[in-house]
Amino acid sequence: MDVKNVVSQMTLEEKCSLLSGADFWHTRSVERLGVKGIMVSDGPHGLRKQDDQADHLGINDSIKAVCFPAACASTSSFDRNLVRTLGETIGDECQHEKVAINLGPAINIKRSPLCGRNFEYMSEDPYLAGEMAASLIQGVQSKNIGVSVKHFAANNQEHRRMSSSSEIDERTLREIYLPAFEAAAKKGHAWTYMCSYNKINGVHSDVNKWLLTDVLRKEWGSDAYVMSDWGAVTDRVAGVAAGLDLEMPGSGGVNDAEVVKAVREGRLAEADVDACVERILTIHQRYLENAKPETPWDQEKDHALAGKLAADCLVLLKNEGNILPLKQGEKIAIIGEFAQKPRFQGGGSSHINSFKVTSLLDAVADIPNVTYAQGYRILSDEVDEALQAEALAAAKQADKVVIVAGLPDSYESEGYDRDHMRMPANQNALIEVIAAEHQQVVVLLYNGSPVEMPWLDKVQGVLEGYLAGQNVGTANRAVLWGEVNPSARLAETMPIRLEDTPSYLSFGGEANTAVYSEGIFVGYRYYTKKKLAVNFPFGYGLSYTTFEYCNLRLEKDQIKDTDTLQVCVDVKNTGSVAGKEVVQLYVSDRESAEVFRPVRELKGFDKVELQPGETKTVSFTLDKRSFAFWNVNTKDWFVETGVFDIQICKNAEEVVLSAPVTVEGTVPLPILVDEDTIMMDLKKHPAKMAILRKAREAMRPAQEEEKKEESAAASEAITEDMNEAMERYSPLRNMISFSGGQANHEDLKQLIDAMNAVE
Ligand code: BGC
């Protein structure tokens, strides 16, 4: 279909009808011109296809489908191939079900552990979130199914999500909250974006021209169309002008009529309407011309895949005395109702109607010597003395105990945030009681976001199970019994207490204003800078084998910021079982005169599988962005000349190998001189300094005279060095106060003009 040509044949009313949904999940058609509507359905970790009784909160049932690991889990894999496979599978399912766009991935940054939707989001780190999002998108779209990258942007809390304004300074937006969306455009080539409900710095996303047009399309070169989150439209006419293409789920024609009226009255350019329609239809064509409803959907096969993927998403956090893996023949007590009724996904619009669920108890049915006790009730926070006593008795009979604990559905969900990080009191109490009596206790957690672990020192093992999808049991069994060697790493920091978190003082905001006062210091950027102890740092995770690193090689030790830098490192499996290692590369700026910078930032990662004794070389390519910060004056990425350490790390806190590189910034920082410009800043600009020196020379005789008056004692008290140090902060305007009447305001103005006239 020649989209431009078809659009040119439409009436204004027809065009405007295409700017909103026909119903909850479908777009409209224009039959006389052969324009077909398409269907969209929620993801991100499966297919939530609703037919009748539509809603956007996951309340009503959708078709039976397969629930894969939620993003909190899948991102922990640090495995681009894993999420790509996940994407391909979801793409096939969509083809089978005639769903053209899967509404995901959700890639907002985890600003605080409290956000109710963190289970659906990827990471606290923008680079990791961007890389994983891009791979997932490539997977889905390789099947000619679109994604909708959400929630664009800065939707980092559920509290007042439709009215709150995320107040974020420019550098923080660019360095923390936008890069994952940027990667989704530049690397993922996402077909669509979904604008968020919230405002950014006072402007609702649906009418934010800077975001939707200037940044997304002009800067990042995206050809995506933007749809609204469900009900996120505040002003449809302004939205069309800003670049919001599609309103979902539609307003029953009310807003379409507004748009028609605005065009007729000359308040909106028809060309803006055309641009929206063209973008929408161009994307839909990609699906319509490649629809393959004959694609098979073998749900059992996908269920098996869900379990296989999930096993690579579990993070082994503690393994004292190698309590894990469990061995065949050991007497194991599995305790906790979650072992029977697992929590494997979060609540809200991502809720998949699983066709089948495999719990841990289901999965271990064939393992001898395994007993089970309920221990607590998921739906209550109260200790049940009888259940607890029964669990303790079961534990005492066993060689090892696995307590399955975590957060019940009501504790975290779309639509509201948590107000604390605690697990239910009865579950914490159960762990304490059993750990006091038994020295071989593993806690397996089901949760979408970090929890406080008051019992951490008293148990021997902790396995972070996250929300691992409907085949959770198979994955848990595989890792617990060592059929799969755990290889995931935390995509977020696990703080000790809520009070330690970077946004503790401001999360949620006051009324409709949420000030992101911690700035760029989100997640590990904060904890490493403050040297604050955490339970487990970002990037942390154990294995049943050991790895050694050596031979860190940098292609060069000096580069320009326009060059790339190849980095290689060798990794060896020094243990006795096969395993996968996540090699993490961080860049650390030794000294920054211009801005505050984090201790180190993740700029590369790779996952490698190694047999015992095997060594592999992992290589990375760094570029300008690996060293740059966002400069608010030049409105661009900027590298400050200096030494940067390339650090190969086990996690955000543990550096294994490090090598320096000197990077020369090739973009000079422009400076606009005014009366407040200080000497320290001027000294970086030789031509301007030359002008200043000349002016000072001219004034010197008078100043010399004045100096003679000074007592010898004073000149002894203030040494030359001190003088120079103090002078660093002297603004130009001081010339008037200290030139003994030699310079007046006009002289100063002329001097400033002269300085601004040169580089
Ligand atoms: C959610 C989106 C979702 C949409 C459709 C909204 O409430 O924020 O993530 O895709 O509903 O269900």
Could you write out the DSSP letters of every residue in 683-711?
TT-HHHHHHHHHHHHHHHHHHHHHHHHS-
Neighbours of 57 (CB within 10 A): 13
Cβ(42) – ligand 1 distance below 6 Å: yes
> Which two structure tokens, joined as six digits, stand for 484?
């799969």
Q: What average pLDDT does range 278-292 have in this prediction?
A: 98
Instruction: Calculate helix-pair angle for 179-186, 126-141, nearest 10 degrees.
Output: 30
pLDDT value for 350: 93
pLDDT band at 58 (very low <50, low <70, confident <90, very high): low
pLDDT value for 138: 98
pLDDT, mean over the chain: 95
Cβ(150) – ligand 1 distance below 6 Å: yes
Cβ(103) – ligand 1 distance below 6 Å: yes
**What is the helix (H) or strand (E) element at residue 263, kind and residue range?**
helix 254-264
pLDDT value for 739: 81
E strand map for 21-106 = 40-42, 64-65, 101-103
Q: 544 with 324: CB under 8 angstroms?
A: yes
pLDDT one-digit tens code per residue, 72-101? 999 999 999 999 999 999 999 999 999 999
Distance of CA 7 to CAs 81, 264, 274, 493, 749, Å? 39, 18, 7, 50, 58
Cα(61) to ligand 1 centroid in Å equals 15
| Mutation to probe ligand 1, out of 23, 27, 103, 192 (largest number of atoms < 8 A from CB) | 103
> Which two structure tokens, joined as six digits, stand for 352?
């998949």
The one catalytic residue in 229, 272, 417, 561 is 229
Please state which CATH class domain 547-664 belongs to.
Answer: mainly beta
Q: Is 229 annotated as catalytic?
A: yes
Cα(230) to ligand 1 centroid in Å equals 6
CATH number of 300-530: 3.40.50.1700
- With b for 16 or more beta-carbon neighbours within 10 A and e for fewer, the 659-688 pattern comes to eebebebebeeebebeeebebebbeebeeb
- Which residues lie closer than 8 Å to 710 by C-beta, 6 or more apart? none
DSSP state of 731: B
User: What gap in Å lies between CA 437 and CA 431, rounded to an integer?
Assistant: 10
Cα(244) to ligand 1 centroid in Å equals 16
Residue nearest to atom 5 of ligand 1 (CA): 56
Q: 431 with 454: CB under 8 angstroms?
A: no
- Which residues lie closer than 8 Å to 30 by C-beta, 6 or more apart? 10, 14, 17, 18
Atom number of ligand 1 nearest to Cα 58:
12
Neighbours of 22 (CB within 10 A): 15
Nearest Cα to 166, choosing from 534, 506, 450, 451? 506
- Which residues lie closer than 8 Å to 414 by C-beta, 6 or more apart? 57, 58, 116, 117, 120, 158, 346, 347, 348, 349, 350
Cβ(56) – ligand 1 distance below 6 Å: yes
Distance of CA 313 to CAs 73, 93, 122, 413, 419, Å? 5, 22, 12, 21, 27
Nearest Cα to 192, choosing from 350, 402, 41? 41
User: What gap in Å lies between CA 110 and CA 31, rounded to an integer?
Assistant: 44
382 exposure class (CB count in 10 Å sphere: 0-12, 13-18, 19+): exposed
Rounded to 5, what percent of the chain is helix, strand, coil?
A: 35, 20, 45
| Mutation to probe ligand 1, out of 157, 193, 349, 350 (largest number of atoms < 8 A from CB) | 349
pLDDT value for 600: 98
pLDDT one-digit tens code per residue, 601-646? 999 999 999 999 999 999 999 999 999 999 999 999 999 999 999 9
Cα(82) to ligand 1 centroid in Å equals 25
Nearest Cα to 65, choosing from 83, 38, 92? 92
pLDDT one-digit tens code per residue, 178-207? 999 999 999 999 999 999 999 999 999 999
Cα(90) to ligand 1 centroid in Å equals 18
pLDDT band at 698 (very low <50, low <70, confident <90, very high): confident
Cα(47) to ligand 1 centroid in Å equals 13
User: What gap in Å lies between CA 167 and CA 149, rounded to an integer?
Assistant: 21
User: What gap in Å lies between CA 275 and CA 67, rounded to an integer?
Assistant: 37
pLDDT of residue 706 exceeding 80, the answer is no
pLDDT band at 422 (very low <50, low <70, confident <90, very high): very high
Handedness of CA 505, 507, 511, 512 (dihedral sign): positive
Atom number of ligand 1 nearest to Cα 249:
5
Q: 341 with 375: CB under 8 angstroms?
A: no
Cα(349) to ligand 1 centroid in Å equals 5
Cβ(229) – ligand 1 distance below 6 Å: yes
Q: 451 with 409: CB under 8 angstroms?
A: no
pLDDT band at 394 (very low <50, low <70, confident <90, very high): very high
Cβ(230) – ligand 1 distance below 6 Å: yes
pLDDT one-digit tens code per residue, 207-230? 999 999 999 999 999 999 999 999
pLDDT band at 723 (very low <50, low <70, confident <90, very high): confident
User: What gap in Å lies between CA 672 and CA 753, rounded to an integer?
Assistant: 10
Q: What average pLDDT does range 126-151 have in this prediction?
A: 98
Nearest Cα to 259, choosing from 487, 541, 453, 14? 14
pLDDT band at 469 (very low <50, low <70, confident <90, very high): very high
Cβ(447) – ligand 1 distance below 6 Å: no
- Which residues lie closer than 8 Å to 82 by C-beta, 6 or more apart? 74, 309, 312, 313
User: What gap in Å lies between CA 473 and CA 404, rounded to an integer?
Assistant: 11
Whose tokens are 């028809």? That residue is 270
| Mutation to probe ligand 1, out of 121, 229, 413 (largest number of atoms < 8 A from CB) | 229
pLDDT one-digit tens code per residue, 523-561? 999 999 999 999 999 999 999 999 999 999 999 999 999
User: What gap in Å lies between CA 534 and CA 187, rounded to an integer?
Assistant: 33
pLDDT value for 20: 98
Least confident of 10-24, 136-150, 309-323, 730-744: 730-744
Cα(300) to ligand 1 centroid in Å equals 27
Residue nearest to atom 11 of ligand 1 (CA): 56
DSSP state letters, 352-366: -EES----HHHHTTT
CATH code 3.40.50.1700 region(s) in the chain:
300-530
| Mutation to probe ligand 1, out of 56, 152, 353 (largest number of atoms < 8 A from CB) | 56
Q: 411 with 77: CB under 8 angstroms?
A: no
pLDDT value for 707: 59
Atom number of ligand 1 nearest to Cα 55:
12
- Which residues lie closer than 8 Å to 724 by C-beta, 6 or more apart? none
pLDDT value for 55: 72
CATH code 2.60.40.10 region(s) in the chain:
547-664
| Mutation to probe ligand 1, out of 42, 107, 351 (largest number of atoms < 8 A from CB) | 42
pLDDT one-digit tens code per residue, 569-604? 999 999 999 999 999 999 999 999 889 999 999 999
User: What gap in Å lies between CA 199 and CA 54, rounded to an integer?
Assistant: 26
Q: Strand, helix or coil at 423?
A: coil
Residue nearest to atom 9 of ligand 1 (CA): 349
- Which residues lie closer than 8 Å to 420 by C-beta, 6 or more apart? 498
User: What gap in Å lies between CA 547 and CA 671, rounded to an integer?
Assistant: 49
Atom number of ligand 1 nearest to Cα 155:
8
Handedness of CA 731, 737, 739, 741 (dihedral sign): positive
Atom number of ligand 1 nearest to Cα 197:
8
pLDDT value for 726: 80
> Which two structure tokens, joined as six digits, stand for 80?
């681009």
Cα(234) to ligand 1 centroid in Å equals 16
Cis bond leading into 105, ω under 30°? yes
